[in-house]
Amino acid sequence: MRLDYHTHHERCGHAQGTMRDMIEAALAAGVTQLGLSDHSPLFFLEDDHPSPGMTMARSEFPRYVEEMLALRDEYAGRIDIRIGVESDYMPGWMERYRGIYAGYPLDYVIGSVHYFEGLHVFNRTRWEAADADPLRTFTLYIRLVQEAARCGVFDILGHLDAVKGLGVVPADPLTELWDETVRIIADADIAVEVNTSGARKPAREWFPSTDLLERLHRAGVRFTFGSDAHSPDQLLYDWEPVVDYLHAIGVRQLATFRNRRRELVPLVR
């Protein structure tokens, strides 16, 4: 079983290639199960397309789902395609998001904290400001991750500690706060993706870190795999090292999703 549940495509405005391109690359790489999960529209804003370089338009979402369904049928018997979306966690808006997603035949929803303090999590200007405070920023981000885990809208938490992505970290590792977060995630029974895009960023480290992965595993949290590919050549990025690492810490199954229900498959080296 080779799977990748976090992939992006040209519709979001900052990825390369079509969904068909990603599927063809997955076939060539021997992927068994491929999740299509482009960025959700910014449903918390009223404009149809307020951020063309970051997400698809609100009016494009139905066509996005229609295309995924058509491709799933076309490639049936060759590759198992799962229908997904990567959603923003936005405080105060999640019931609206829940209602929107309920209207579509999705297999899973990835929940990620992208926007806080008025900036995207990977916006470099956050750390260039004169009053930049990594401890405050990390604390706020982690609290939002906790809320995302509790909100009940998501099946998978995306790039769990992405706030470290640009290589800035506080002097305090916030161990107690992360331990609290691990407990919240375990209690919520939500899966966490091993997102390898962090290894392609200045952090040079998966999301979440190996230390967090071990703590999550000890707490009984289930994992899935996501390359967060923004082009077909990034598909399955670091798949083998992730499989080896998870096996070494005792993980023997990965989480997959169908019709918003979790199914476990063997993790085979």
Interval 140-189: pLDDT, tens:
999 999 999 999 999 999 999 999 999 999 999 999 999 999 999 999 99
Q: Are 57 and 114 in contact (CB under 8 A)?
A: no
The per-residue pLDDT for range 193-210, each reduced to its tens digit, is 999 999 999 999 999 999
Please give the Cα distance from 30 to 79 (Å, whole number). 9
Q: Is the pTM of this model over 0.95?
A: yes
DSSP string, 136-161: HHHHHHHHHHHHHHHSS--SEE-STT
CA distance 226 to 193: 6
Q: Over 90: is that where the pLDDT of 76 sits?
A: yes
Mean pLDDT of 89-98: 97
By CB neighbour count within 10 A (0-12 exposed, 13-18 middle, 19+ buried), where does 220 fall? exposed
Looking at the predicted structure, is the pLDDT value of residue 269 above 90?
Answer: no
Q: Which residues pair with 111 in a beta bridge?
A: 87, 157
In the DSSP assignment, the letter for residue 36 is E
**Interval 13-55: pLDDT, tens:** 999 999 999 999 999 999 999 999 999 999 999 999 999 999 9
**Which ranges of the chain does DSSP label H, i.e. alpha helix?**
19-28, 61-74, 94-102, 125-128, 134-150, 175-188, 210-218, 239-248
Q: Where are the domains of the chain?
A: 3-266
Residue range 3-266 forms a domain whose CATH class is alpha beta
Q: For the segment 100-121, what is each residue's pLDDT rounded down to a tens digit?
A: 999 999 999 999 999 999 999 9
